[in-house]
Amino acid sequence: MIFLGFADDVLNLRWRHKLLLPTAASLPLLMVYFTNFGNTTIVVPKPFRPLLGLHLDLGILYYVYMGLLAVFCTNAINILAGINGLEAGQSLVISASIIIFNLVELEGDCRDDHVFSLYFMIPFFFTTLGLLYHNWYPSRVFVGDTFCYFAGMTFAVVGILGHFSKTMLLFFMPQVFNFLYSLPQLLHIIPCPRHRVPRLNTKTGKLEMSYSKFKTKSLSFLGTFILKIAESLQLVTVHQSDDEDGAFTECNNMTLINLLLKVFGPMHERNLTLLLLLLQVSLGMGLTPPCFPFSVALTVVIFLCRSWAALSPSPFGTSLSDSSTTSEPPDHCLLPHSLQGS
């Protein structure tokens, strides 16, 4: 997966390669699961138990699910990326959630599985913590797609071999929402540019929504329908224009990052990262009962850090409160987009 991430950074791989290669990479993982465990039975949710019973054996469909989970985890962090500290930050929160969940479940029946997960997650947490220190705004180290694919596959491995793949999805709730929100562009129902990162307003020093502009007649009936529904739900901003080349439609790129900028308005990059991490903590950890108290504590800590950053002078010479007066863009904006995430 590290090689795939490096190849994506250098060669700008197409989406079909990003789906095919992780699928092939997950085959050894599924073979290990089949050889050592082979359990394909799930506990049926209570509303469906009168119809399906307490347990249901999915058979080969369970392996299909795990393969799809590996592909999703690998790409989920890479899709929600592009600003300093976000990739490493969300990976740090997810790994912390997994560690807390494993520690709480150590007294249960699957102790060995959770110990196995901790062997992976504890080193990953502290190495990512060191990476985040250098990747925080203004970043001195850029993670690129290489770290995103590596982190995603690490989570998939511990979730599958640790037998908590369904719980794992709860830690990925912001990524799940971002994926569903991005789906019309990922499937090219609505035109999708290569990079969908927010754009920097050099006069204010704040990030604003990025847009995709295309000819109105190039949009299919399904694309037009989805765009109208999304606009009516206040999920996208759509502009229409005409020139000598015809009618054009412009809409903001469908990512969670741009959606937050739409809701809260332009903001400093560091504030935006803190807001996204706050969302990761509150949704990713808050929906899992064993992690809820830690979610509340981390939410308070991040909120206090955000307030302190807004009121205190930055160690790099610019406070968040006066970031609107910044006239020069940060150094990282001068780098190629391939180093800033997708």
- Answer whether 158's CB lies under 8 Å from 260's CB: no
Work out the number of other CB atoms within 10 angstroms of the CB of residue 307.
Answer: 12
User: Which tokens go with 119?
Assistant: 């062997």
- Positive or negative torsion for Cα 263, 338, 271, 148: positive
Q: Bigger pLDDT: 286 or 41?
A: 41
Q: How confident is the model over 11-25, as pLDDT tens digits?
A: 777 767 777 777 887
pLDDT category at 331 given cuts 50, 70, 90 is very low
| pLDDT at 138 > cutoff 80 | yes
Question: How far apart are alpha carbons 173 and 93 in whole angstroms?
Answer: 12
Distance from chain centroid for Cα 146: 14
Tell the residue number behind the tokens 């947490």, with chain if given: 125
Gap between the Cα atoms of 98 and 10, Å rounded: 32
Cα distances from 309 to residues 197, 268, 328, in angstroms, run: 23, 11, 20
User: Measured between alpha carbons, how far is 41 from 39 in angstroms, rounded to an integer?
Assistant: 6
DSSP annotation of 325 reads: G
Q: Output DSSP code: residue 109.
A: T
Compute the distance between CA of residue 285 and CA of residue 220 in angstroms, rounded to an integer. Answer: 39
Instruction: Say what the pLDDT of residue 307 is.
Output: 55
Q: 211 forms bridges with which residues in the sheet?
A: 252
- Residue 305's pLDDT band (cuts 50, 70, 90): low
β-sheet bridge partners, residue 267: 207
DSSP classification of residue 126: H
Q: What is the pLDDT of residue 254?
A: 95
Close Cβ partners of 37 (under 8 Å, ≥ 6 residues apart): 161, 163
Query: Which pLDDT value is given to residue 316?
Result: 37
| Cross-strand pairs, 214 | 249
